[in-house]
Amino acid sequence: MLEIRHEYLTDEFSTRDAYNEIYSTKGILHRDSIYLWLIKLLQPQSGKTLIDIACGEGRLVTLAKKHGLKSIGTDFAIEGVIKGKMESPDAEWFTADGESLPLRDSIADYVAHVGSLEHYLNPEEGAKEIARILKPGGKACILLPNAFGLLGNIHYVLRNGDIFDDGQPLQRYGTRRAWQRILEAAGLEITSVIGYFEITPPQSFGDLIWLFTHPKKLARFLISHLLPTNLCNDFVYLCTKHE
């Protein structure tokens, strides 16, 4: 496991302060097609409950709500939750640490956890919370970064001699098996692993136009279909609760 830990990081409170600063300034937001693609991977049924842990600005929660799901977003940084609530006041929102959620067991039909577990002080505890709140027969979608992504860290190391630092307080990169061991030890059963190269099939006309007007992104998207999962930028783990 590769780790970048910034010097100012001392405890959960300094981490929370850092994310409140991020969400109140530049923010962390991806194109809608990424969130829509992840939602589709869960094959959700309308009316069921989806909880997005470490939801950030809550865009996935908003889009899941539009797809007929009972959507709940939680993040320990209140600035992110405020942005989500402003965009989608009809969804449910609350602030909480993903390592210790104030939720009863087996409450969620679906859990989304997108690019966040690697930033936890204790990712093992965060993984246990995913398994704890997931219903038997429910599905979780967890996105985690690869230490050896061909178009990610490997390309970055070739150019810069170091792994990529996204500026967040704490960053970890692991192999497919390393993350799998953490998830399985937490009580999750992995049903499939999908490679993600940071470009997804466009889910809207606007994102289709964006892709075709960014040649480098389009080339990455086309090349990614030829590369093995173990060399993807990120892994998407689809999981159920281990019985």
Ordered structural domains, the chain, with CATH? 2-241 (3.40.50.150)
Q: Is the pLDDT of residue 12 over 70?
A: no
User: Nearest-CA neighbor of 176 among 198, 141, 144, 128?
Assistant: 144
The token pair at 208 is 């289709």
Is residue 6 very low, low, confident or very high in pLDDT (cuts 50, 70, 90)? Answer: confident
Element of type H or E holding 40: helix 32-41
Chain segment 122-143, per-residue pLDDT in tens: 999 999 999 999 999 999 999 9
| C-alpha distance from residue 71 to each of 5, 88, 109, 116, 163 (Å) | 32, 10, 11, 18, 35
Q: Give percent of the chain with pLDDT exceeding 90.
A: 84
Place of tokens 């991806």: 30
Confidence class for position 10, pLDDT limits 50, 70, 90: low
CB atoms inside a 10 Å sphere around CB 150: 17
pLDDT of 235 over the 80 cut: yes
Nearest Cα neighbor of 223 from 144, 133, 150, 140 is: 150
pLDDT at position 9 over 80 = no
Report the distance separating Cα 192 and Cα 175, nearest Å. 15
> Whole-prediction pTM value?
0.94
